[in-house]
Structure 1
Amino acid sequence: MENDRMKPIRSFLLTLLWLSVVSNSSGQEMKAANPAAAPPKILVLVHQEIEMGKASERQKLVASMSRACDRLDAPSFWIDLQPLTGTRETLSFDLFDTFEQVQQAHSGWKQFYAAHPDLAQTQGEIDSLVTGERTLIAVRRDDLGAPPPEDIDLSEARFMRVLEVRLLPGHGKDFEESIRLWGQGRTRGKAERPWVVYRVSEGTSAPTFLVFLPFSELKEYDDLLEQKEEVLEGNEGEDTADRLRQIAHDAYASIESNLYVVRPETSHVPREFAAGEADFWRTASPVEAKPEVKSGVSHAKKKP
């Protein structure tokens, strides 16, 4: 049982190491980030498990709803993520800067659906395809991510690796230490492989952190599968590697890691967000379907 728990922990440590190696060795120039596409300060993350065999139907419905929200003044925005590994859950990544905006969006969706009953019906149809749901609200931790959030451009993301790290009670500081340990020797700059860390504030009883790794091509992660644990000592130092393993053993309850593809046709993002990558976000042809289901992370929270 202990070995089963340590396997994802070891994978997480190797992920940290791999990021350090990539960020220090990459020499590519990156264009200036779009400030409107920086990671949100407040994240509402909704996991929805879709009825078996209904994923295609859901996608059509959500695409129809998303395009309607593009035309209308919808109360909030989201990025829709579809799983490539591990689960039938879709993931909706809702963008907010304050908790007040989250509250305003909740009220705003009630008014929106009252003004557009056809879309309210669509939302009901999408809800009928959902067999399970959980919602997390999380706050961005700028001291744990890299580079600074204003240098991260989510509009360029085509894939997203999502790590959900659940800790044993009282071990939040240990996780923070593990992040800082491996990051101490990293070169911080434009060539750095970006990642964003959030601390969950609502939706779980255990201390939980979310780590998001946006990237533009799957080939960027091919080498990760070939990493060996011994590289920890060679790149970070034996003492640091030992401390990372000790923290993982003592503090981590579980780690879930999944890979998602970004779906622009079922997302609804601000025009300013999409401006630098308009061909990706705005030219995806809408799926022909009757108006239906609303996709996304916090849609269950949005409906009246």
Structure 2
Amino acid sequence: MRILCPVLFGMSVVVLGGSLAGAQDAMPSPPKVIQITREWIKPGKMGMVHDRSEAAFVSLNNRAKLQGHYVALNSMSGKSRALYITRFPSLQAWEADNKVLATGAFATDFDRAASGDGELLDGMDQAVGFYNPDLSFHPHGDISHARYYEITSFRVRPGHRKDFADLTKMYKEALDKAGSSAHWAAYEVNYGADCCTYLSITARNSLSEIDDENAAFNKVMEAAGGEDGMAKIDQAFGQAIESSHSELFSINPKQSYPEDSWAKADPDFWKPRMKAASEASAPKPAAPKPAAQPAAASKPGTR
């Protein structure tokens, strides 16, 4: 949720036609509960080193068949870190997963994986958010083909929740009037953050979407009432919001625990090794026999 105006940077905007908005509403709904685990990575420990460590968690989750699938994100802005957004239909589902991990060999394997991963980290924190449909705008529940995430946090001034809701409604009306295909899912952080913290999450198939949004700003400003309308939104922003912060992330499929629907829709991205193994096991036509060659002196094996 990136408000694009001279003073504000928050709600996502791209004008591609009103027919897209209806199609977005038909998409699967975002998860009702998300747990965000944020890992601060030591210098030099990102990349393949961290991929190998996180593979232990992915393997464990697949074995345990946990309900909470998650997408792993690597920072493209700000301090080096990794985010894991785990999606649950309810707190009860999260509780059920915790019970599975606390039993038998799963608990031992989880502790071992956590211990190894901890050697790569400077720190870790977690937060829990609840989906707010009224503050969301044409959210995309299906992230099968997503490659990037934009996440904006808003710290609403105490006592100004209604002002924040009114601001969001005002901006959403301008987007609808412009026929925008902007989209975001809004979450209120109930655990792990200061009071009145909200998150706006936008999944991106390509960074070019952001280029399109920037190019479309004038159309949205016109729909909002021109400079006077944007000044009104700017004023409402200042009254309702104490601070906001936006970051950009890339999805790391090697560290993700994807839903089956994502893997089926885009196996090359989410399950590349699975597809490669499948192709390797397929029968191949016999190669033609090489023509006879003169005998050659033997050579030591090479790598």
For the superposition of Structure 1 and Structure 2, which TM-score range results when normalised by the shorter chain?
A: 0.7 to 0.9
Structure 2 match to 1:261: 250
Matches within 5 A, 1:190-201: 192-201=181-190
Q: CA RMSD in A?
A: 3.4
CA contact (8 A) 1:23 1:186 kept: no
Instruction: Select the residue among 119, 138, 158 that pairs with 1:128.
Output: 119
Aligned to 2:86: 94
Q: Check conservation: 2:135, 2:186, Cα contact below 8 A.
A: yes
CA contact (8 A) 1:39 1:154 kept: no
Question: What CA distance in whole angstroms lies between the structure 2 residues aligned with 1:216 and 1:111?
Answer: 38
TM-score by length of structure 1 reads: 0.76
Whichever residue aligns with residue 32 of structure 2, its letter is K
- What are the equivalent positions in structure 2 for 1:138-217 lying under 5 Å apart? 138-147=129-138, 149=139, 152-187=141-176, 192-217=181-206
AA in 2 matched with 1:197: A
1:22 aligns with 2:15: yes
Alpha-carbon distance in 1 for matches of 2:21, 2:4: 30
Instruction: Output the CA distance in 2 between the equivalents of 1:115 and 1:133.
Output: 22
1:192 corresponds to which letter in structure 2?
S
1:77 pairs with one of 69, 91, 97: 69
AA aligned to 1:77 is H
User: 1:48·1:89 contact (CA, 8 Å) conserved in 2?
Assistant: yes
Alpha-carbon distance in structure 2 between the residues aligned to 1:191 and 1:245: 20
Shift of the 273–191 alpha-carbon distance from structure 1 to 2, 3 Å rule, reads: farther
Match of 1:48 in 2: 39
- Structure 1 pair 250/261, CA: closer, same or farther in 2 (3 Å)? same
Specify the alignment match of 1:240 in structure 2: 229
For 1:125, the aligned partner's letter is G
SS at 2:252 equivalent: strand
Contact kept, 8 Å, 1:265 with 1:281, in 2: the verdict is: yes
CA displacement 1:171-208 (0-9 Å, x = unmatched): 222221111101114349x9823211111111123201
Q: Is 1:106–2:94 an aligned residue pair?
A: no
C-alpha spacing 1:165/1:122, structure 2 compared with 1 (3 Å): same
Which stretch of structure 1 is more off in the superposition, 269-278 or 97-106? 269-278
Once the two structures are superposed, residues 116-172 of structure 1 have per-residue CA deviations (whole angstroms, 9 ceiling, x without a partner) of 63453122111232222221111111122121x5x6312221100000111221122
8 Å Cα contact 2:189-2:198 kept in structure 1? yes
Deviation at 1:215, TM superposition (A): 1.1
Q: 1:225 to 1:184 in 2, by over 3 A?
A: closer
Residues 152 and 115 from structure 1, CA distance in 2 versus in 1: closer, same or farther, beyond 3 angstroms?
closer
Equivalent position SS for 1:138: strand
Provide the C-alpha distance between the structure 1 equivalents of 2:168 and 2:117, rounded to a whole number of angstroms.
38
- Distance in 2 separating the partners of 1:54 and 1:76: 26
Larger radius of gyration: 2
What residue number does 1:66 align with? 58
Q: Matched residues, percent identical?
A: 22
Task: Give the drift of 1:72.
Answer: 4.4
Which 4+ residue blocks in structure 1 deviate beyond 4 angstroms?
8-12, 23-34, 223-228, 230-233
How many correspondences in the alignment?
Answer: 271
Structure 1 gaps of 5+ residues are 1-7, 287-304
Determine which structure has greater relative contact order: mean sequence separation of CA pairs < 8 Å that are 6+ residues apart, divided by chain length.
1
Query: Structure 1 stretch 95-104 or stretch 114-123: which is displaced more?
Result: 114-123
Shift of 1:26: 8.4
Q: Within 1, Cα distance between the matches of 2:17 and 2:10?
A: 14
Residues 1:157 and 1:191: Cα distance change in structure 2 (over 3 Å) = farther
Letter in 1 for 2:143: L
> Quick one: distance in 1 between partners of 2:98 and 2:6?
37
Q: Which runs of 5+ in 2 are unaligned?
A: 276-303
